[in-house]
Amino acid sequence: MARDCQCQCATLQPDEWVKGKLVGSGSFGTVHLAMNKATGGLFVVKSAQSGAGLKALENEAKILQSLNSQYVVHCIGRDMLRGSNGGHKLNVFMEYMAGGSLSDVAEKFGGVIEEEVIRLYTREILHGLKYLHENGIVHCDIKCKNVLLGSSGNVKLADFGCAKRNNEIKAIEGISGSWNSIGGTPLWMAPEVLRNEGLDFASDIWSLGCTVIEMATGRPPWSEEISNPKAAVLKIACSNERPQFPTQLSEDGEDFLAKCLERDPQKRWTSEELLNHPFVSENSMRMHTRKEHICSPASILDIGNYDSDDSDVSESSNLDEFPSKNPFSRCCSEINETTRGEQAESDLASSEIWVTVRSGGSL
């Protein structure tokens, strides 16, 4: 189905689609909502017209057009136009994911995500990583902002601007200054990558562990070091420490993180191994769901377990009043205020302060 969309959008001329509101921007360029005039179908267009942003977008389009997985966002076409400054402007058309990123989702539901939902999302991220790794691709920038949510609750990996193929990695290994060829966001990057000792599939697994921490806490990993980028990078690269595990995680969750955040990449579990871990395995998730949902109601008025239509519940009702209906934080009311400040810290972790570090600038 996605390939049918590709055929429709790949040949779109500038007068055949209309650009809508801005939905994202960064050092790479911009992302706008767009509409196909002939079909009314929605998609997004990612645009860049110079320098590193154009190079990253070209890399992303090339990789995405070679992939076809339900766990990876689909590239549905591209065009190259003359930019306003006389240079070239690349537009890459991608499928529209209505739920936004996992960062957006967590923010809308109180700042953090419930473990039951983290298990579901993590399993789908692992399927995406398994597919990429089987095809010789390292994503290099796994984090909540680069995982998108569909309207049905499915998640897909996105933002492949930093991604590398295995043969590219081997080609740059051992080359002086090869750090400049490696991208990512430092607080999510594996120690060996920051030390410029190698980049492989295990690096994505470390970043996945950091992403689970991000989902569970609403904050970046290593958040205690966020005000000092140099200290954070040195701590990740050169200490024997791991980021602090969320205290509310189950034993399975903590063990899963330990398998992801093993400092020795040779001992880190693979995506295939992790898919069989009790934290995300189908059998254990099924049992966990039963424990959460199949229980006797305290009374016939127990709204958390009473299956009825919601006709008597106002659309404007506060989600905090019905915490068992909310798949995310059970303590929304307590953290709504604090997450405003934490969001600023989260933005800092992915801000231009970090772009300099990740692009090979001096520390």
Instruction: Count Cβ atoms below 10 Å from residue 275 Cβ, excluding itself.
Output: 17
Instruction: Count Cβ atoms below 10 Å from residue 124 Cβ, excluding itself.
Output: 19
Q: What are residue 227's phi and psi, to 5 degrees? A: -80, -10
3-state SS of 170-212 is HHHCCCCCHHHHCCCCHHHCCHHHHCCCCCCHHHHHHHHHHHH
Q: What angle do CA 261, 146, 251 make, to 5 degrees?
A: 35
Report the run of H or E that residue 30 belongs to, with start and end: strand 29-36
Residue in 4, 141, 307, 320 annotated catalytic: 141
Taking CA atoms, 15 is separated from 4, 49, 298, in Å, by 21, 19, 60
Q: What angle do CA 88, 93, 94 make, to 5 degrees?
A: 145
Distance CA 66, CA 68 (A): 7
What residue type is assigned to position 153 of the chain? G
With b for 16 or more beta-carbon neighbours within 10 A and e for fewer, the 311-333 pattern comes to eeeeeeeeeeeebeebebbeebe
CA torsion angle 362 264 144 160 (round to 10): 70
Q: What angle do CA 216, 263, 343 make, to 5 degrees?
A: 30
Distance CA 317, CA 311 (A): 12
Q: Is 252 a catalytic residue?
A: no
Residue 46 annotated as binding site: yes
The tokens for 255 are 């063990």
Question: Would you list which residues are annotated within the binding site for ATP?
Answer: 46
Q: Which residues are catalytic?
A: 141
